[in-house]
Chains A and B, each alone.
Chain A
Amino acid sequence: MIRLEKRPQPSQTWSMATPLVAVVATMIFGGALFGVLGTNPLAAIRTIFFDPLFGEFAFYYRPQLLVKGAPLVLIAIGLSLGFKAGIWNIGAEGQYIIGALVGAGIGLAFYPLEAWYIFPLMILGGAFGGFVWAAIPALLKVRFGTNEILVSLMLVYVAEQFLASMSLGLMKNPEGFGFPGSRNLQEYASAHNTELIAGSGMHLGVVFAFIAVIFAYVLLNRHMLGFQIRLTGEAPRAARFAGVKPARLILFCLGTSGALAGLAGLFEVSGPAGQINIDFNVGYGFTAIIVAFLGRLHPVGILLAGGLMALTYIGGEIAQGQLGLPAAAIQVFQGMLLFFLLALDLLTNFRLRLAKGEVA
């Protein structure tokens, strides 16, 4: 029998080690899964984790790492603030969509005017859209005590319908021959989120992601508000005793994560994606939840986790093309990672002991 014994203090070592162990465990079990699906496990793992970075076409995939990683990190940083305080924003996907819609809407409204202020306005609009969408569950929670998990999630479905409505209606490209989807913002210079260095994948969203990481780090480690966030998550009652105002904290955490998700959506629609369309969202808002946990809700950890998760996206696409690995396999792989992480987290706070056999 294995017995659990609570550690007097959370273990620093295990806190750092669990994500790594979880990744290794996922590679083993994921590899086994790929094997069952008829793919050579070693080849699959190599294709997913190695080829995008060091393979023959790495020059093409490396920039993709930034393109895919930036929205994940941006969203996950926001989510981690709330998760730390026990405020669960599950609807980042919706906030991402609304941010993109508002931002793109502003850009499209100015078409075909070319002016320097259009893109900054779109950025503000994107953040604002995401903020408003996240403020709905926040206000309902503060005012009525409504569960923010369910409300934020329901709003994802609402946002998806909005997206469909917009790409088929209001924002549809009048010169698009009746196809759904808006004008392509990549062809509208004032609204285009261009690469800052050509061919690097480095666009403004990547810069914002790095800024968000630094901002979150300073907030959590040096600022009173960050301390209050951590305290609320650790001991809500002690937080109220310390003078934390729960309502303000809820609004801040949900609002910030919404704004960051909205920004991610805006940078995506005005850059890599280019247009508003029915299938614009690809699940970054949900994958970011995994990123946040994999990064142990720590800003630097999230940065690394975001990179890793972007890698599995890109590697997964390659494996799909080269090895015929189904797209869903990567999704399973990511889910598995979260499982192992949560299960192994136990070791941070508990020691496993082999209990002595009972005296017969």
Chain B
Amino acid sequence: MDLSAINPVLLIASLMVAATPLLLAAIGELVAEKAGVLNLGVEGMMIVGAISGFAISVETGSPLLGFCAAAVGGAVLSLLFVILTQYALANQVASGLALTLFGLGISSLMGQSYVGLKPPSTGEIHIPLLSDIPVIGPILFQHDPILYFGIALVAIVWALLKYSRVGLILRAVGENHDAAHALGYKVVRVRTLAILFGGACAGLGGAYISLIRVPQWTEGMTAGVGWIALALVVFASWKPWRALIGAYLFGGITVLQLNLQAAGVAIPVEYLAMSPYIITILVLVILSADKSSAPASLGRIFHASN
């Protein structure tokens, strides 16, 4: 065992990388849940995003186009969820599961000819001066643009939810869809957009794994990150900034256990590998006492019957 092999600067820097897919998926799901939709298909949308992004950036050589494709891929899959839950009024839990099962299948179908390839590198943003500061530079200012985009997205979502009219309407729909309908708001339209946004974010998160974090394509590579993102929304009490903190905590745990594995700690690899999942459960247990901030219409089916 050699703990000194763990470099704290790299650890924190890679923590941010590990947290980003979670953060992207969680912020998307947070918006959907704020609109009253429980989409358990995050894992499926992520993995579809992962392969869409991977395939397009390999084909075009452009990671940026890849990320765009990932967002589209995630959103297209979430469109199925829209059809099921908003138009066919299907149970949201079952539909979300269907989305995940379907997404895992379709992604491995799409990814058959991409196994073992290397995607083009996304590259880092190099900010003169800032990036060169010792310790802080490598931690904060030497990352890829998507990572910063994720953080910006949290800020944007927070501001929109809290201060804008769009955010107010979204919260109102998630809080009491019948009342929102009575006031003339288009519940189904608002929810559809929120679900699509959630899908696009999950897709981006998936592509972040396949294009930056790993970077390559393997079947089922999201390995439960989508589910952890769902737990993260509960952890965050549906508040964007808390989702950011939560994502960094989980990212930290993931990176730490990988580092410990590499450092050859006496704990068997498998037990280290299961730790993020166990910690997710523990966090859920601690936080589930407080359900008061959950949107009141979450998971309920809306039908404008007279």
Contact = CB atoms under 8 A, between A and B. Distances in A.
B281 A293 contact: no
Contacts of A349: 89
B98 A146 contact: no
B116 to A, nearest CB: 16
A12 B41 CA distance: 30
Nearest to A150: B231
Interface in B75-131: 80, 83-84, 88-91, 93-95, 97-98, 101-106, 108-109, 112
B98 A335 contact: yes
A117 interface: no
Instruction: Give the interface SS of chain A, mostly helix, strand, loop or mixed.
Output: helix
B109 A328 contact: yes
Interface residues of A, number: 49
B101 A328 contact: no
Contact of A149 (B93, B105, B108): B93
Nearest to B279: A154
Interface string B272-295: 011001101100110011010000
Given A151-B281, A326-B112, A346-B88, A338 B98 contact: yes
Contacts of B219: 328
A117 B235 CA distance: 47
Nearest to A336: B102
B93 A88 contact: yes
Given A6-B305, A145-B291, A289 B97 contact: yes
Contact of B80 (A158, A331, A339): A339
A343 B106 contact: no
Of the four ranges (under 10, 10 to 19, 20 to 34, 35 or more), the interface on chain B belongs to: 35 or more
A125 B74 CA distance: 42
Interface string A128-162: 00000000000010001111011101110110011
A288 B249 CA distance: 34
A205 to B, nearest CB: 24
A165 B270 contact: yes
B44 to A, nearest CB: 9
Nearest to B303: A4
B271 interface: yes
B305 A331 contact: no
A335 B112 contact: no
A346 B285 contact: no
Contacts of B106: 328, 332, 335
B234 A158 contact: no
A90 interface: yes
B268 interface: yes
Contact of B274 (A146, A161, A327, A338): A161
Contacts of B187: none
B40 interface: yes
Contacts of B278: 154, 158
A350 interface: yes
Contacts of A140: 281, 284-285
Interface in A315-349: 326-336, 338-339, 342-346, 349
A146 B284 contact: yes
16 contacts: A37-B109, A140-B281, A140-B284, A145-B289, A146-B281, A146-B288, A154-B228, A154-B278, A154-B280, A158-B277, A328-B112, A332-B105, A334-B101, A338-B101, A339-B102, A349-B89
Given A90-B97, A151-B284, A331-B105, 4 more contacts: A140-B284, A164-B270, A335-B101, A338-B98
